[in-house]
């Protein structure tokens, strides 16, 4: 589920080979959204000039939320709701923060409130469906994802999340259809490629899985799960050097990640040796 304020997406170049070495500083130590501070400053000026504008608080809450500053985000959504108790979007945005911090009952209450205000609010159905899926309430989750798709069939996140639900139920053909639709709608996002690849692997189609994971690691070269899954796909294809290269990439991101360590050992990877990735 997306916030309402667009923020920049950064693309990184890929290297053609990999050697296991000491990993660089975690991406979590770097600014996630370089423009966030300036956005906060601009919106704070708007709030200073218009302290009773709920939309301004909601927008600043979105920026805080995207940057991972959950407490300031909640404070702004609370303020927006206090100023306008019928502000459905602020409830849905606050629900998203509650989901991120695993307060699912509060998230569910906010999505329900948003839907009570606006029964046609697709994002709230999507958000509530995610909570239901997290709680194992799969039938209710499916109903909400279906409703979100009916209301907004152009929303890739609804298809992606319904695909995840199908995947957990081992309905991989349905999951692949939904992930494919999500990819067709959004294109340049890593998650649906990785998810579709995992379903292809579950159906023993390692070649299609490898194709998806090739795309995923080019879109997001620091995605640990994508590199590790790619290692498994090439391992199953019998391309051990390329598998070792993928596992090595994963270990350079996180040298303690057990699935990558086990995969690297399985294909005979050796510390300090360079392996091809493409």
Q: Under a CB-based contact definition with an 8 Å cutoff, are residues 234 and 269 in contact? A: no
Closest CA to 242 of 257, 229, 226, 230: 230
pLDDT in tens, 146-169: 999 999 999 999 999 999 999 999
Topology of domain 188-278, CATH: 1.25.40
Cβ neighbours around 208 below 10 Å, total: 16
Domain spans, the chain: 188-278
Q: Mark 32-65 as b/e (b = at least 16 C-beta within 10 Å).
A: eeeebeebbeebeeebeeeeeebebbbbbbbbbb
Given this model, what pLDDT does residue 17 score?
A: 58
Closest CA to 264 of 237, 220, 234: 234
Given this model, what pLDDT does residue 10 score?
A: 24
Spell out, as residue ranges, where the chain has pLDDT lower than 50: 3-15, 21-35
pLDDT in tens, 98-123: 999 999 999 999 999 999 999 999 99
Given this model, what pLDDT does residue 20 score?
A: 52
Q: Residue 175 and residue 168: Cα distance in Å, rounded? A: 9
């Amino acid at each position: 589920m997306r916030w309402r304020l667009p923020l920049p997406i950064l693309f990184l170049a890929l290297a053609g080979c990999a050697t296991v070495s000491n990993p660089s500083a975690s991406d979590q130590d770097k600014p996630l959204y370089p423009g966030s501070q300036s956005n906060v400053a601009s919106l704070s000026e708007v709030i200073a000039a218009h302290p009773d504008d709920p939309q301004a608080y909601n927008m600043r809450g979105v920026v805080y939320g995207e940057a991972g500053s959950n407490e300031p985000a909640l404070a702004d959504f609370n303020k927006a709701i206090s100023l306008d108790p019928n502000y459905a979007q602020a409830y849905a945005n606050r629900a998203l923060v509650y989901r991120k911090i695993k307060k699912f009952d509060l998230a569910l209450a906010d999505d329900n409130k948003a839907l009570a205000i606006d029964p046609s609010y697709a994002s709230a159905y999507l958000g509530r469906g995610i909570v239901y899926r997290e709680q194992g309430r799969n039938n209710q989750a499916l109903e909400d994802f279906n409703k979100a798709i009916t209301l907004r069939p152009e929303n890739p996140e609804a298809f992606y999340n319904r695909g995840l639900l199908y995947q957990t139920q081992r309905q991989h053909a349905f999951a692949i259809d939904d992930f494919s639709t999500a990819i067709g709608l959004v294109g340049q996002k890593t998650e649906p490629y990785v998810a579709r690849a995992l379903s292809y692997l579950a159906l023993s189609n390692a070649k299609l899985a490898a194709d998806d994971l090739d795309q995923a690691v080019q879109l997001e070269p620091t995605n640990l799960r994508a590199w590790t899954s790619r290692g498994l796909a090439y391992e199953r294809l019998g391309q051990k050097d390329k598998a070792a290269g993928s596992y090595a990439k994963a270990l350079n991101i996180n040298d303690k990640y057990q699935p990558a360590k086990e995969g690297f050992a399985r294909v005979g990877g050796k510390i300090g040796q360079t392996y091809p990735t493409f």
